[in-house]
Amino acid sequence: MLYAVFMSSALPPFPQPQEPYDTPRFLEVGTAPDEPGLRADAARNRARLLEAAAKLIAEHGVAGVTMEAVAVAAKVGKGTVFRRFGDRTGLLMALLDHSARQLQADFLGGPPPLGPGAPPLERLRAFGVAVLYRSAEQLDLQLAAQPEPTRRFAHPAAGSLRTHVTMLLRQIVPDADSDLLAHTLLASLDPALIHHLTRQCGMPMERLATAWLDLVARVTNTAAPE
């Protein structure tokens, strides 16, 4: 099945500051829009703090991630963590940004059908399935890090996904309002909805993946895959 390709077991390794990341500017999500470029030593400290937070999540769950706990694990002062991330939500969002970089790398330059080389319809199908499973794997983190409504859709990570879906829709249905359709499709991948459907309603992920493929078929007026 298509959805089996996109399951992963952990956050990808944290990139070192000197590694290049050839992503179009509008898809950059490594830092918040108001955060200037980091010096090499600051980037290393940031990576160390994120590694400490990721280890705490692996050992204790999201509830175990506090600014004080991260400071102790990283062997820095608590004030350093606050200066770097602002608050706990900022820290959790930074962890999600790191995971979003890996997803971006996959749909920008990875193998098809998620990456380039497949028809846009196949890439759109694969995109939704990938996001579903990656969100399910990090669901507690996704929910804990979700920003307030006024910041939610403006965050660079959300904008990068929306841009990608919009670009695919423009190729599949050029006469449609691709911008709004992208919002509609992405709403079905919302972590809170995935939480409700899987944990509160008991729906299997396979059903959600099949529903995504059906939704894409209806929105694009194409046949669903067999």
Per-residue pLDDT tens over the stretch 101-114: 888 888 989 999 99
Structure confidence by residue, pLDDT tens digits, 91-104: 888 887 777 788 88
Q: pLDDT tier at 47 (50, 70, 90 boundaries)?
A: confident
Listed by start position, the domains of the chain span 2-6+38-220
Does 2-6+38-220 carry CATH code 3.40.190.10? no
Q: What is the mean pLDDT of the chain?
A: 81
Q: Which residue has the tokens 């490594």?
A: 30
Range 206-218 average pLDDT? 97
pTM for the full predicted model: 0.70
Are 189 and 132 within 8 A, CB to CB? yes
CA 133, CA 92: separation in Å to the nearest integer? 19
pLDDT (0 to 100) of residue 10: 43
CB neighbour list of residue 11: distance below 8 Å, 6 or more residues apart: 54, 95, 98, 99, 102, 138
Q: For residue range 24-40, what is the model confidence (pLDDT) as tens digits?
A: 222 233 343 334 455 77
